[in-house]
Structure 1
Amino acid sequence: MSVPTTPNGTPTKITQGAQTRGGIGESTLRPDGTLKVTGEFAYSSDLWHEDMLWGQILRSTVAHAEIVSIDTSEALALPGVYAVLTYDDLPTEVKHYGLEIQDTPVLAHGKVRHHGEPVAIVAADHPETARRAAAKIKVDYRELPVITDEASATAPDAILVHENRDDHHIGHVPHPNIVHRQPIVRGDVAAARARADVVVTGEYYFGMQDQAFLGPESGLAVPEEDGGVHLYIATQWLHSDLRQIAPVLGLPEDKVRMTLAGVGGAFGGREDLSMQIHACLLALRTGKPVKIVYNRFESFFGHVHRHPARLYYEHGATRDGKLTHVKCRIVLDGGAYASASPAVVGNASSLGVGPYRVDDVEVEAIALYTNNPPCGAMRGFGAVQACFAYEAQMDKVAKELGLDPVEFRQRNAMEQGTLMPTGQPVDSPAPVAELLRRVKAMPMPPERQWESSEGADVRQLPGGLSNTTHGEGVVRGVGYAVGIKNVGFSEGFDDYSTAKVRMEVVGGEPVATVHTAMAEVGQGGVTVHAQIARTELGVAQVTIHPANTEVGSAGSTSASRQTYVTGGAVKNSCELVREKVLELGRRRFGAAHPAWATAELLLEGGKVVTDGGEVLADLVDVLGDDAVEVEAEWRHRPTEPFDLRTGQGNGHVQYSFAAHRAVVEVDTELGLVKVVELACAQDVGKALNPLSVVGQIQGGTTQGLGVAVMEEIVVDPKTAKVRNPSFTDYLIPTILDTPTIPVDVLELADDHAPYGLRGIGEAPTLSSTPAVLAAIRDATGRELNRTPVRPEHLTGTA
């Protein structure tokens, strides 16, 4: 079959050559970096195919309603329209999908459950024709009352969002509108409360955040001659998509071929399906390639968001600053469909106390079914919401005790050997106190920067270029926070990855090819995999094969797991290739030198050398015309589900830790905030690519800043409709909002992980938000128990 290209014919294969020869521990440049910054990179929305049709989705205009009728006749009559499909046109009995719970209909049937739910799909010969056709579909709705919060979801007479639930969570939840419930119970909270000298309570609200990735959802489905389909798609997990897509199409998995197209960011928003099944259905129905590209407005409805949450906390402590107990209840709004809500509940509950030693704990976390937008994975999921609340509590307790907030945290900081509230020991370095010490010791930014000797610079003032303040009422505040995040999939999930590594001579030079199904979404796996191959195989030239389903699953690019798990798989396969290469050399040259049989042999610089540095042979001579190839799976150590009554269990693989110090300046009269600096200290175990590590930490920090002071999807509580589905009204930090982000990287190896590394991408997203809030509280003296902070919360007009 023909392979799609970009309109200018840009190839999709990425080759790393002699210009990036670095191994593990070196800062190597991304092979796609120049293409991305110059605008030449081929994203999935750039794909093109001869005789291609365009797909369009009709979405519900109401959040909860019965579908009385759908009339597609006018759409079908429009010239240029090739197909219009509704639920009744789906080809098999399998009409639902989902990450864990298959509760999401491919197209709405019987009723719609949230604003923007897909109702019908159209294929036409031009994108504008497809849009016009979708607009001509007539849907008659009979609106129903909306479920929008815990009170309306769990009332005795509550309407059920899903009337016929039969998933495996239904047996342990107190109401069918609760997706999942996880308690964590250890010790005796009542007795501990009696011992406490100070008890502090708080109620917190965390807003719904959008992933706001660079490229909206898009992909291209191409029908195959054997009756199958080839989908070129921007996703986070090719094999998970495949598992959900094939049954709906009525095809075996080997007839649904998938290739990763260029991904413009993800942050969890591409874990769930969006347009994948729709494009494939239209391609198979019309017999033509079908491309679907969301616009930004549609993207807000086309993927899940971060769960908004209400959190209720109680902390107790003794006069000498030791925590006695923590009790909390975390209510997450999962929206209309389950998505990753069960896993988010598991994270929120098991990490809900934070990186502290506490013997007596009672935690309850639940996720609701409502008619609000579906929520699922987003960077740091579950742990982000909890960290916002428990760090606010730590500041409140410290204030009650008259202690410095950093010192109070350090007195209670967990360390290696500490038992988690789940009973699981932390069996790798946990430098919580040290991270706090480091971040506090960083130099402070200068005061009143706008009064520099070079003259006034309004960009340094709250309000920035809007020039709304001149500094008269500006007050500085400083705040601290630290967080804990799990790495990898937890609770007994079979979390593995596969890597195929091939070594051969090409053009007179030994070359390694690494082939995985890892979704490169910007995290830098394409760089790390080449670094691992160079380190383990001693070659300069490494080719990264395009990711597709022709190789085994690499799991999801989420949970900070790819460098750990797929990196571990690449390392494992490289080691197996190395052994095969050395055995090949022993057979060819072993008689010529006794070191082939007795010495520890290494591959370095394209040669076989002894551990003493003696060169035995060139790899070119060892390989000759042969190619050595290995495809192997790799698993980290197993985990287990949390007990559904007590929450006890070794549920997590690894933990990562980050601490932040925020420095803000606030115009207390106008309610304007300028975040001057967000300093971070993080333990990364081993920095495989230091440049990428710092970039990940700064990126996560900036997303935490966004939800602290500006980002929130606003949903009308009466209608459950989204009120701000655009970047005009949903604000994200720009370069003018982003502060200085100095980073102190600590490397304390985890002996259980490849190279001692620790997943890094999510932890800085946790602690940056509460650090900013703590700094604003320090500047204003206000309690500030919600995100994001708005001007009216600072001026008393809310």
Structure 2
Amino acid sequence: MGVTGTPTSIKQGSKTKGGIGESTLRPDGTLKVTGEFAYSSDMWHEDMLWGYTLRSTTAHAEIRSIDTAEALAMPGVYAVLTYDDLPTEVKNYGLEIQDTPVLAHGKVRHHGEPVAIVAADHPETARRAAAKIKVDYAELPVITDEASATAPDALLIHEGRDDHHIGHVPHPNIVHRQPIVRGDADEAAKRADVIVSGEYVFGMQDQAFLGPESGMAVPGEDGGVDLYVATQWLHSDLKQIAPVLGLPEEKVRMTLSGVGGAFGGREDISMQIHACLLALRTGKPVKIVYNRFESFFGHVHRHPAKLWYEHGATKDGKLTHMKCRIVLDGGAYASASPAVVGNASSLSAGPYVIDSVDIEAIALYTNNPPCGAMRGFGAVQACFAYEAQMDKLAAKLDMDPVEFRRLNAMEQGTLLPTGQPCDSPAPVAELLRRVKAMPLPPEQQWLAAGEQADVRALPGGLSNTTHGEGVVRGIGYAVGIKNVGFSEGFDDYSTARVRMEVINGEPVATVHTAMAEVGQGGVTVHAQIARTELGVTQVTINPADTQVGSAGSTSASRQTYVTGGAVKNTCENVREKVLEIGRAKFGSYHPAWATAELLLEGGKVVTDGGEVLADLVDVLEGESVDLELEWRHRPTEAFDLRTGQGNGHVQYSFAAHRAVVEVDTELGLVKVIELACAQDVGKALNPLSVVGQIQGGTTQGLGVAVMEEIIVDPKTAKVRNPSFTDYLIPTILDTPTIPVDVLELADEHAPYGLRGIGEAPTLSSTPAVLAAIRNATGLELNRTPVRPEHLTGT
């Protein structure tokens, strides 16, 4: 990794060892590598029951009746619950629109929808009991695409919709619609010397986290419940769970348990309410652990999309206009679809200067699996299409594809299609220059001179399908733009509690937030921030729970920015309180207590010149400071529903990729040799973690480029490949070399100048791989993932 660039002047605290800018190791790293880390599925209670969910076997049907008698009669079964057993009148939940029933009522709307839940003394007993529940379905026609969803006589997925989006959508089966109009695209098109258009298809991707949905609910003596669960947003879960249970929020106590990955798939409720209902009904702890098959039905996926784009450019390569229409399939329930529409539309032009745009993005209700948040949501689908368009324009103008992009690249001060100025560094052209300048891997590295080919490095790998015949190399480039944080006027904030005290003769800081650690490294960064601001070595990170204020969701690349910002802000206030105590105790002994800027460093109070005034142990003897504070970044605003104008985003992040692939053009097999990345991170708070995030996001983008797709039968809307046997994800043998060049150009609006990084590399890696395959084959390839038949025509 190369960390380069000169950050703008950002005030930082002390230089205590293990602070900001160091590659400190994760406290849970060794445990995870050795298999000793306790995930949510590892929890155990001596008298616990096991929960199981009965799911619909059809995608759209009326429920005529449900007979649970035989299941209830089984030995070892403690409870069987259906919709009619729910304890309150609140029977739906949802992130923004409460349209998802806790258990199906009246009809089922997608394959795998929960219909009933069972609690038993053994997981196999619960499973067998669920199989004995008799559900009488009356099949209904399925709605699977825009044509069937918006036809005048289309069945409504949700009859009687009354959510706040219904007033601006042209059909009740459209969840949300966001147009963006700036300039006059039709008039600008007249100035174009070349115009290209394309239709693109983006497949449904699964988050494919390794730890399936799981958790344990324990009934409390006060009539409440304690829930230990792997999730991305404790307080959002709480607000959805408590009304269904009929309990005040203070009686639903939530604690984060070990999370085995998330990537957006844990933003929505899965087993949380079901476990609580069963625990409260039986009076016993109830544990639910999905198997892999259930997990495919138990969480949302990335929206599949159909995208139409038109771009124009002058003969000297300047973009004149852009038109696009993006149709996202949201499936049966809304989940995060409105926010995905907002991202897809507002970022659909990419990181380019285009003064005239005509954009429309919609999300549909269908009977396909529900779709919602996944790493880079909305922006990933758009980037795939607009980057293919950039290559088409460059080819038509006979220009180098990187130089064409650099010519049109946005920069700080550029107005985006929404009219919002980019008021922080936007080094798009520089990232492209850097990634192009990185050394290329050697040609035909799979064949050493005079030796037999190493099939592991060939397309097809260990399947031993080729020894190099018909293998062609291709190189492709892409760059993307992603927003950071929640957008469109959402009150995005986080809370942190910090305590400073002396324990066993040593100053100690304790940090407590509700941030969900899902692998992104917040538990490391929070300790680094506390060391930097409070000058202590010993920092304890308390488990995340709802006994502290909300930290928001671990999504939208926001946690280091927002919860990190909350920790920094609270630490700064704690530091001032500590210094007030010191001034009261020792200020009369040295004038610097009143006249100098004071820092906490290495367990001491020091002046900005480095003079030691006191030990923190002496300052805090008999004292402690404990503060809990909320922190907010600058506000955003909703996009205008007619023009799409508005300052809707907090911050933008940028990444560029160069893909090198080798393609067996006879067999249609692809081997990605290298995916080089250049990304601006503002400030690398933990450089090792930064590189890990970039490489992880890059690999997920590779997956959707060449292998990952949930296949849904268009006639029945049933999922055909709900397992890792048939849904393929990259393994270590598929993952290429991923060299990373990290640029640090600070955003003066953000804590430490940092920039959210987790999602941007997922955007540009996919179109870079597709561009490289096109370069190798000469084929248009307008869909993901690329399959062998797309390359061979079979």
Q: Distance in 1 between matches of 2:378 and 2:553?
A: 17
User: Distance between the aligned counterparts of 1:614 and 1:464, measured in 2?
Assistant: 62
The residue identity in structure 2 corresponding to 1:376 is: G
Distance 1:68 1:627 in 2: 63
Question: 1:456 Cα shift?
Answer: 2.5
More displaced 10-residue stretch of structure 1: 110-119 or 47-56: 47-56
Distance in 1 separating the partners of 2:752 and 2:204: 37
- Of the three residues 388, 405, 417, the one matched with 1:392 is 388
Match of 1:739 in 2: 736
Q: Is the 8 A contact 1:539 1:606 kept in 2?
A: yes
Task: Say if 2:443 is the partner of 1:461.
Answer: no
The residue number in structure 1 matching 2:9 is none
Q: Are the equivalent residues in 2 in contact too, given 1:681–1:746 (CA < 8 A)?
A: yes
* Counterpart mapping for 1:193-204 below 5 A: 193-204=189-200
Asked whether 1:590 is paired with 2:584, we answer no
Between the aligned partners of 1:54 and 1:472, the Cα distance in structure 2 is 55
Q: Say if 2:104 is the partner of 1:108.
A: yes
CA distance in 2, matches of 1:793, 1:455: 29
Task: Choose from 615, 619, 625 the match for 1:618.
Answer: 615
Corresponding residue SS for 1:192: helix
Task: Tell me the distance in 2 between the aligned counterparts of 1:82 and 1:710.
Answer: 43
Given that 2:512 and 2:541 are in contact with CA atoms closer than 8 Å, whether structure 1 keeps it comes out as yes
Aligned match of 1:187: 183
Letter in 2 for 1:103: D
Give yes or no for the alignment of 1:163 onto 2:159. Answer: yes
AA aligned opposite 2:482: K
Q: How does 1:556-635 map to 2 (within 5 A)?
A: 556-635=553-632
Please say if 1:720 is aligned against 2:681.
Answer: no
Q: Give CA deviations for 1:559-587 in whole Å, capped at 9, x if unaligned.
A: 00000000000000000000000000011
Separation in 1, partners of 2:621, 2:748 = 37
User: 1:128 is matched with which residue?
Assistant: 124
Q: Which residue of 1 aligns with 2:217?
A: 221
Query: What is the deviation of 1:164?
Result: 1.3
* Counterpart position of 2:10: none
Matching of residue 370 in structure 1 with residue 366 in structure 2: yes
**1:547 paired residue number:** 544
d(CA) in 1 for partners of 2:196 and 2:61?
43
Query: Matched residues in 2 for 1:625 and 1:184: separation?
Result: 60
Equivalent position amino acid for 2:119 in 1: A
Fraction of identical pairs, as percent: 89
1:422 aligns with 2:418: yes
| Other structure's SS at 2:446 match | helix
Describe how 1:284-295 pairs up with structure 2 within 5 A: 284-295=280-291
Partner SS state of residue 449, structure 1: coil
Instruction: Find the counterpart in structure 2 of residue 706 from structure 1.
Output: 703
What is the letter of the counterpart of residue 760 of structure 1?
I
Structure 2: distance between partners of 1:183 and 1:365? 6
Q: What are the Cα deviations for residues 356-389 of structure 1, in whole angstroms up to 9, with x where unaligned? A: 0000000000000000000000000000000000
Distance, in Å, in 1 between the alignment partners of 2:446 and 2:732 is: 17
Map Cα deviations across residues 730-784 of structure 1 (whole Å, 9 max, x no partner): 0000000000000000000000000000000000000000000000000000000
User: In structure 1, the residue corresponding to 2:498 is in which secondary structure?
Assistant: strand
Structure 1 residue matching 2:717: 3-state secondary structure: coil
For residues 137-165 of structure 1, the C-alpha deviation after alignment (integer angstroms, 9 at most, x for no partner) is 00000000000000000001000000110
2:735, 2:148 → 1: CA distance?
A: 39
CA distance in 2, matches of 1:334, 1:21: 47
Q: For the residues of structure 2 that align with 1:460 and 1:81, how far apart are their CA atoms?
A: 53
User: Deviations for 1:365-418, whole angstroms, at most 9, x for unmatched residues?
Assistant: 000000000000000000000000000000001000000000000000000000
Which structure 2 residues correspond to residues 319-468 of structure 1 after superposition, within 5 A?
A: 319-453=315-449, 455-468=452-465
1:8 equivalent in structure 2: none
Hey, what does 1:766 align to over in structure 2?
A: 763
Q: Alignment partner for residue 261 of structure 1, among 240, 249, 257?
A: 257
Aligned residue in 2 for 1:58: 54
Kindly provide the amino acid, as one letter, of the partner of residue 369 in structure 1: Y
Q: Shift in Å at residue 455 of structure 1? A: 4.8
Q: Deviations over 1:686-742 (max 9, x none)?
A: 000000000000000000000000000000000000000000000000000000000
What SS does the corresponding residue of 2:481 show, helix, strand or coil?
strand
Match of 1:688 among 667, 685, 688: 685
For 1:252 and 1:193, locate their aligned partners in 2 and report how far apart those are by CA, in whole Å. 58
Which of 289, 292, 295 aligns to 1:296? It is 292
Q: Which position in structure 2 is the counterpart of 1:90?
A: 86
CA distance in 2: counterparts of 1:793 and 1:207, whole angstroms: 14
Query: Matches of 1:551 and 1:641 in 2, distance apart?
Result: 29
User: Deviations along 1:575-631, whole A, 9 cap, x unmatched?
Assistant: 000000000001111111111111100000000001111111100000002111110
Q: Distance in 1 between matches of 2:218 and 2:31?
A: 26
SS of the aligned residue for 1:345 comes to helix
Q: Which residue of 2 aligns with 1:12?
A: none
Q: Deviations over 1:110-147 (max 9, x none)?
A: 00000000000000000010001000000000000000
User: Is 2:297 the partner of 1:315?
Assistant: no
User: How many pairs align?
Assistant: 778
Q: Partner residue of 1:4?
A: none
2:453·2:467 contact (CA, 8 Å) conserved in 1? no
The 8 Å contact of residues 21 and 541 in structure 1, kept in 2 or not, is answered as: no
Higher relative contact order (CA closer than 8 Å, sequence separation 6+):
2
Q: Give the C-alpha shift of residue 452 in structure 1.
A: 1.6
Counterpart residue identity of residue 306, structure 2: R
Is the 1:184–1:421 contact (alpha carbons within 8 Å) kept by the matching residues of 2?
yes
The Cα shift of 1:50 comes to: 2.0
- Cα distance in 1, alignment partners of residues 453 and 708 from structure 2: 29
- Give the equivalent residue in structure 2 for 1:273: 269
Structure 2 partner of 1:75: 71
Which residue in the other structure is 2:208 paired with? 212
3-state SS, counterpart of residue 167 of structure 1: coil
* Residues 573-582 or 448-457, more deviating: 448-457
Q: SS at 2:709's partner residue?
A: coil
Question: What is the correspondence of 1:765-784 to structure 2 with a 5 Å cutoff?
Answer: 765-784=762-781
Q: Partners in 1 of 2:752 and 2:610 — Cα distance?
A: 22
5+ long unaligned stretches in structure 2 = 1-15
Matched, 1:31 2:27: yes
Tell me the C-alpha RMSD between the 2 structures. 0.6
Residue 349 of structure 1 aligns to a residue whose secondary structure is helix
Paired residue for 2:674, among 669, 673, 677? Answer: 677
8 A contact 2:81–2:116 mirrored in 1:
yes
Matched to 1:525, the amino acid is G
Distance in 1, matches of 2:61 and 2:265, equals 26
Give the structure 2 partner of residue 655 of structure 1.
652
Counterpart residue number, 1:143: 139
Q: Unaligned stretches of 5+ in structure 1?
A: 1-19
Aligned partner letter, 2:43:
L
SS in 1 for 2:190: helix
Distance 2:533 2:338 in 1: 38
More moved, 149-158 vs 587-596: 587-596
SS of 2:784's equivalent? coil
Whole-Å separation in 2 of the counterparts to 1:231 and 1:21: 37
**Which of 777, 786, 789 is the matching residue for 2:786?**
789
Q: 2:217 touches 2:226 (CA, 8 Å); kept in 1?
A: yes
Q: For residues 538 and 633 of structure 2, what CA distance do their matches in structure 1 show?
A: 28
SS, match of residue 450 in structure 1? coil
Q: Compare 318-327 and 446-455 and name the one that shifted more.
A: 446-455
User: Within 5 Å, which residues of 2 pair with 1:229-268?
Assistant: 229-268=225-264
Residue 178, structure 1, aligned to residue 174, structure 2:
yes
1:515 paired residue number: 512
**Aligned with 2:204: secondary structure?**
coil
Aligned to 1:756: 753
Give the aligned residue type for 1:484.
Answer: I
SS of residue paired to 1:54: strand
DSSP 3-state at the match of 1:343: helix
Match of 1:41 in 2: 37
Q: Which aligned segments of 4 or more residues in structure 1 are displaced greater than 6 angstroms?
A: none
